[in-house]
Structure 1
């Protein structure tokens, strides 16, 4: 039976980043992936994820600044850029552009607050209904290429990548775990990092975690989200499209220039958390809800005049949500749980890998709001 110092479960953005960090520090690492890295059944597939600094909480804005250093390092090592600059616009009565601007100001990040009329003059392809926050440092992440690059860095530093290795259980104690696959293979590990995304829920009871720790785990909601690619109304136009988040009462939409998986022909548009809730990632069926499709088409007709309201491509993906939309990065005995989620984890991937590696090796702290003990104390205070 193979034996490793650290075994990382899941080769999406979070797991790949963690394996890269651990291997680059000289640790003996295996990366176990249930199919292949960044596969279509997970949350890290495709070529279009939003990179942005705008958050209502300045805490997250600061984390994006830290994460950008990791993206720059990955680009330097790989000789390839993974973030295409586009800028971003945020608007809508619930989005509160002024609050976002305050968070950006606290970190010295370039931005502008525009009236709806001023914004319409710049981006006539979008119909704005409130004041607008513009920050030019935003862009689009190629998630699939990023995973491939981080896995390549991990392997280059000696990590072992095991594809088609679906973990069924983790048994044992710190320093001596046995991971068993669904087809009865096994590896040993002194430490385990679980970055299973939408599969975390179904794995929890199969992990060798203290019962009290499991009792403190927040509810994890898995959704099968839907995204649609709409063609540009004028394919010959040189108009530059920013990414956008539009949030009003009862509705949140987001969009970004589609990547290579949709032939760069239009905008990827979706309703945030508009998909059905699943028992676990294993229950996804990849089917588009026609009611959701109609809702998004109606939105495009009303608010995105620069697009033809007929999707030329559509896809599903997984969102794994916590009640607060905060991440889980925590450790019990020799097992580290790593669940960046709620649809906004991609931009933090290099930093999440650093946090997880620091926590698993004991050399550095993790923000307290990602730790389960801190969550429990906060919940008790409420």
Structure 2
């Protein structure tokens, strides 16, 4: 039976970032991954996640600024481009681009407010229905490469990685905890960081958490999201698409260049939280719902004239949400809960890893927004 000072459960973006931070600080770390890092069944796979600064809450915009420092360090250490710059546009009656612009102005982030007509002149491939916020510092994160890079850096600093090691339960011991899998193997740990994403709801009952702490954990919902890749009507426009968020009454849609996931042929388009609700990640079936497909195809035909409204590829992924869409980063005894990230956590991975490592080692605290306890 092996043992470690810190065991990290889950090698997605948040878990990999935490393991990287802990290992490079000189701690003994073991990573337990139910499959392989950044696998397709989790929330951190693929090459296309949005990096953006535009949030209605200045707290999150400031947190993105902190995360960007970590992304730059990770890019330097790993020698791989992790964020492709594209810029981003935000618009729609419920997106409130003017309010977003005020947040960016206060944070000192370059941006521009455009009329719908001016935006259409700049991006004729998109139909805008309100004023538009443009900020050029946005881009697309290669999530899979980011996870691979952070895991490699953690291993180089002495961490161990066990793959195909699905955690079944955690029990208390005289010196800490014992993490078990379904085949009878176990790893002893002084501290456990649970970064299980969509598997957290089914794992919570198998963790030795105090009842008072458990009772205050917010409701966690797992959504099987559906994303579609639509081909560029004119392939010459491939390098001229920003990421976007369009929020209107009854529907919020986001889009970004699909990248390596779909052979660089088109845009990845999805309805935010438009999939079906699951009890946990174990219940995902990868089946695309016809009603959602029809809604997104109709949206593309109406609002994205630069795309052929017939998807050439489609996929599912997991969003694991809290009611407020804040993250959970909290610790009780020597167990740190590190998930879910509510469908927008990818861009924060480096700073999430820093916060979780600070909390798990007792050298720092986390913002109150992330505490399970009010």
Q: TM-score range by the shorter chain?
A: over 0.9
Displacement after TM superposition at 1:372 (Å): 1.9
Check the 8 A contact 1:174/1:335 in 2, yes or no: no
- Using the alignment, how far apart are the partners of 1:35 and 1:117 within structure 2? 48
Further displaced range: 54-63 or 173-182: 173-182
Q: Is the 8 A contact 1:173 1:334 kept in 2?
A: no
- CA drift of 1:225 comes to 0.2
Task: Please report how far the alpha carbon of residue 236 of structure 1 lies from its aligned counterpart in structure 2 after TM superposition.
Answer: 3.1
What is the SS of the residue equivalent to 1:184? coil
Q: Which residue of 2 aligns with 1:353?
A: 353
Measured after TM superposition, the shift of residue 183 of structure 1 is 1.5
| TM-score, normalised with respect to structure 2 | 0.99
Within the alignment, does 1:337 sit opposite 2:347 as a pair? no
1:8 touches 1:31 (CA, 8 Å); kept in 2? yes
Aligned residues of 1:42 and 1:318 also touching (Cα < 8 A): yes
Give the superposition deviation at 1:81: 1.3
The aligned residue for residue 34 of structure 1 is 34
Contact 1:174 / 1:333 at 8 angstroms: preserved in 2? no
Residues 275-314 of structure 1 mapped to structure 2, 5 A cutoff:
275-314=275-314
CA distance in 1 between counterparts of 2:351 and 2:237 reads 37
CA deviations over 1:191-242 (Å, ceiling 9, x no partner): 0000000000000010010011110010000000000000000113466000
Name the CA distance, whole Å, in 2 between partners of 1:238 and 1:322.
35
Q: Does residue 47 in structure 1 map to residue 43 in structure 2?
A: no
Q: 2:357 is paired with a residue of what secondary structure?
A: helix
The residue number in structure 1 matching 2:364 is: 364
Residue 250 of structure 2 corresponds to residue 254 of structure 1 = no
Show structure 1 runs of 4+ deviating over 6 A: none
Q: CA RMSD in A?
A: 0.9
For residues 368 and 252 of structure 2, what CA distance do their matches in structure 1 show? 28
User: Secondary structure of the equivalent of 1:15?
Assistant: helix
- Mapping of 1:1-382 within 5 angstroms? 1-172=1-172, 175-237=175-237, 240-373=240-373, 375=374
1:133, 1:139 → 2: CA distance? 15
Assess if the C-alpha contact under 8 Å between 2:198 and 2:340 holds in 1: no
SS at match of 1:154: helix
Asked if 2 retains the 8 angstrom alpha-carbon contact of 1:229 and 1:267, the reply is yes
- Deviation track 1:13-44 (CA, whole Å, cap 9, x = no partner) reads 00000000000000000000000000000000
Deviation at 1:184, TM superposition (A): 1.4
Which runs of 5 or more structure 1 residues have no equivalent in the other structure?
Answer: 376-382
- Contact 1:254 / 1:270 at 8 angstroms: preserved in 2? yes
Q: Secondary structure at the match of 2:61?
A: helix
Q: Unaligned stretches of 5+ in structure 2?
A: none
- Displacement of 1:340 in angstroms is 4.0
In structure 2, the residue corresponding to 1:246 is in which secondary structure? strand
Partner Cα separation in structure 2 for residue 164 and residue 247 of structure 1: 39
How many residue pairs end up in the alignment? Answer: 374
